[in-house]
Amino acid sequence: MDKKKIYHFETRAIHEGLKGSEWEGATLPPIFQTAAHHHETADSLSQTFAGQTQDHIYMRLSNPTNRFLEQKLASLESGAAAILTGSGMAAINNACMTLLRAGDEFVASRSLFMSTYSLFTVVFKKYGITVKLIDPRDLDSLQSAINKKTRFVYMETITNPGMEIPDLKAMADIAHKNHLPLLVDNTLASPWLCRPIELGADIVIHSTTKYLSGHGGALGGVVVDAGKFDWSHEKFSDFAPFVTQKGNLAYTFRQFKEHHINFGTTPAPFHSYLTAIGLNTLGLRLERQMENAKTIAHFLDDHPKVDWVNFPGFEGHISYSMAKKQFKNKGFGAMLTFGLKDQEACFRLIDKLDMILNLANLGDCKTLIIHPYSSQYVSFPQELKNELADPTLLRFSVGVEHPQDICDDLAQALETV
Ligand SMILES: Cc1ncc(COP(=O)(O)O)c(C=O)c1O
């Protein structure tokens, strides 16, 4: 690609990184299925271990297929560097643990993906780390939750399954005023709909399993570093050796050295290959999925058996205006939740569906449904389950199928409710 021409997102998602690669003209990254890489001389291997070359050593450290996707995702998220992981949860863990030490605190949205909630409130607690949970739309509560021990602020662009949309620019301003980085899980929006770094975020995380790969065939995660945060600030004095070596990429370097390598969070390159194929159609898929989501949301809202629908694309929704502003009128995401009268009604609907799939994923090109209360939250203590999940709620991830077929399937299943 002509380095001087600025191509649009959709074009870069397909073409960036391909031409000029040493892959015999391949239009997809080859799968480098090798655990380790041979070096002709002892000196070459030694220099690579010392970080003096960009060559590869061992798959747990780096791999050419993974690196292709890392560079592409960093670019698509307007970041400076990225590290891929074997899952979205590994990415969240790496992103946070790079910053946390025993006794530290951080502030996070109280509306979080279930495993993230569990990692923050149960697992991190074991290591003496405290998370302060706030309403993701309440800027005052963010400022009041910050104290000397706070290391970062953590948000989801669209919360799962709360469907709330925080004001990322305002959050970034408050975080920066306190010399703290803002970390954003951008999974439900994808960089096609929203690029948090352009709004001031410092670190962006994805479960690439979802919209980025888009076909339900690959598991993965990524941590993208904006490369803009000042890690030399006295608040992050423990970053000094990493700043000395890598300057503005101190965070990514530390994440790589301490967490990625030692926790062994590398993805298999086949997953990166599948994700790279999926990326080619990200914009196309999302346009269709978001349009379908609007149609389905209205269909459900008008249906007498449906008690409520939570979709940020409704004018009366608490996050409608934020979605319009933050997503620049491109859409409202492709996920929604809706409620039936009770858990039995939810089960009856799911059991009667013909085409729509009942499974624990989202962001697939296929339409998916799940009853979170009886599945993802089933082993949570009852009190917490009551607080976080609702037995009448169904989560609905809209795919690219013909919208009439999705509505017809829902309609015939709703008859039995
Ligand atoms: C918002 C969000 N973040 C992270 C994850 C975790 O991703 P993975 O399943 O790839 O570990 C999920 C999974 O559903 C998610 O919805």
- 42 assigned to some structural domain: no
413 Cα–ligand 1 center, Å: 28
- Contacts of 316 by beta carbon, 8 Å cutoff, 6+ apart: none
Helix or strand holding residue 289 (H, E): helix 282-302
Which of 222, 253, 279 corresponds to the end of one domain?
A: 279
Helix axes 64-76, 269-279, angle to 10 degrees: 40
Whether residue 292 sits in one domain with residue 218: no
CATH of the domain at 265: 3.40.640.10
User: Among 65, 42, 146, 73, which Cα is nearest to 104's?
Assistant: 146
pLDDT (tens digit per residue) in 201-226: 999 999 999 999 999 999 999 999 99
Whether residue 301 sits in one domain with residue 261: no
Residue with tokens 């697992």: 123
Q: Is 223 helix (H, G, I), strand (E, B) or coil?
A: strand
pLDDT (tens digit per residue) in 353-393: 999 999 999 999 999 999 999 999 999 999 999 999 999 99
- 179 assigned to some structural domain: yes
User: Among 159, 171, 157, 166, which Cα is nearest to 200's?
Assistant: 171
Query: Residue 345: pLDDT band by 50, 70, 90 thresholds?
Result: very high
pTM, entire model: 0.98
- 372 assigned to some structural domain: yes
Q: What is the pLDDT of residue 269?
A: 98
Q: What is the pLDDT of residue 363?
A: 98
Please work out whether the CB of residue 364 comes within 6 Å of at least one atom of ligand 1: no
Please work out whether the CB of residue 221 comes within 6 Å of at least one atom of ligand 1: yes
- 15 assigned to some structural domain: no
Q: What is the pLDDT of residue 20?
A: 75
Q: What is the pLDDT of residue 22?
A: 80
Per DSSP, helices labelled H in 178-268 are: 190-193, 240-246, 250-254, 261-263
| Average pLDDT value over all residues in the chain | 97
53 Cα–ligand 1 center, Å: 33
Contact 187, 211 (CB under 8 A): yes
Tell how far CA 166 is from the center of its chain: 15
- 113 assigned to some structural domain: yes
Q: How many C-beta neighbours within 10 Å does residue 251 have? A: 27
Between the two ends of the chain, the Cα-to-Cα distance in Å is: 55
Beta strand spans in 344-385 (E): 357-358, 368-370
- 30 assigned to some structural domain: no
Which residue, by CA, sits nearest to atom 14 of ligand 1?
Answer: 361
- 47 assigned to some structural domain: no
Long-range contacts of 121-127 (CB under 8 A, 24+ apart): 124/96, 124/100, 127/100, 127/102
Whether residue 206 sits in one domain with residue 135: yes
User: Among 401, 397, 374, 364, which Cα is nearest to 158's?
Assistant: 397
Q: What is the pLDDT of residue 217?
A: 98
Whether residue 240 sits in one domain with residue 111: yes
pLDDT at 19 over 90: no
pLDDT at 106 over 90: yes
Q: Is omega for the bond preceding 241 within 30 degrees of 0, making it cis? A: no
- 22 assigned to some structural domain: no
Residue with tokens 């290391």: 151
95 Cα–ligand 1 center, Å: 14
Whether residue 212 sits in one domain with residue 88: yes
CATH of the domain at 380: 3.90.1150.10
pLDDT at 228 over 70: yes
Which residue type occupies 201? A
Please work out whether the CB of residue 265 comes within 6 Å of at least one atom of ligand 1: no
Question: Which of 111, 203, 206, 207 has most ligand 1 atoms within 8 Å of its beta carbon, as the pocket-test mutant?
Answer: 207
Q: Can you tell me the distance from the alpha carbon of 207 to that of 364, in angstroms, rounded to the nearest whole number? A: 12
Q: What is the dihedral of CA 134, 135, 139, 145, to 10 degrees?
A: -10
Whether residue 206 sits in one domain with residue 141: yes
Give the structural domain span for 149.
61-279
Beta strand spans in 257-373 (E): 308-310, 335-339, 357-358, 368-370
pLDDT (tens digit per residue) in 262-279: 999 999 999 999 999 999
Question: Which of 193, 210, 375 has most ligand 1 atoms within 8 Å of its beta carbon, as the pocket-test mutant?
Answer: 210
Q: Can you tell me the distance from the alpha carbon of 143 to that of 99, in angstroms, rounded to the nearest whole number? A: 19
Q: How far is CA 26 from CA 12, 19, 316, 328, 345, in A?
A: 17, 9, 49, 35, 51
10 Cα–ligand 1 center, Å: 24
- Contacts of 191 by beta carbon, 8 Å cutoff, 6+ apart: 9, 73, 76, 77, 78, 204
Q: Can you tell me the distance from the alpha carbon of 333 to that of 163, in angstroms, rounded to the nearest whole number? A: 9
Whether residue 220 sits in one domain with residue 75: yes
Which of 228, 259, 279 corresponds to the end of one domain?
A: 279
22-40: average pLDDT: 94
Which residue, by CA, sits nearest to atom 6 of ligand 1?
Answer: 88
Q: Can you tell me the distance from the alpha carbon of 284 to that of 5, in angstroms, rounded to the nearest whole number? A: 22
Q: What is the pLDDT of residue 38?
A: 98
Which residue, by CA, sits nearest to atom 10 of ligand 1?
Answer: 88
Q: What is the pLDDT of residue 316?
A: 97
Which percentage of the chain shows pLDDT scores above 90? 97
Whether residue 329 sits in one domain with residue 358: yes
Whether residue 121 sits in one domain with residue 180: yes
Which of 279, 302, 318 corresponds to the end of one domain?
A: 279
Whether residue 204 sits in one domain with residue 74: yes
Give the number of domains in the chain.
Answer: 2
Q: What is the pLDDT of residue 2?
A: 66
Whether residue 250 sits in one domain with residue 158: yes
pLDDT at 3 over 90: no
Whether residue 325 sits in one domain with residue 301: yes
Please work out whether the CB of residue 66 comes within 6 Å of at least one atom of ligand 1: no
Q: Can you tell me the distance from the alpha carbon of 254 to that of 355, in angstroms, rounded to the nearest whole number? A: 46
Which residue, by CA, sits nearest to atom 7 of ligand 1?
Answer: 88
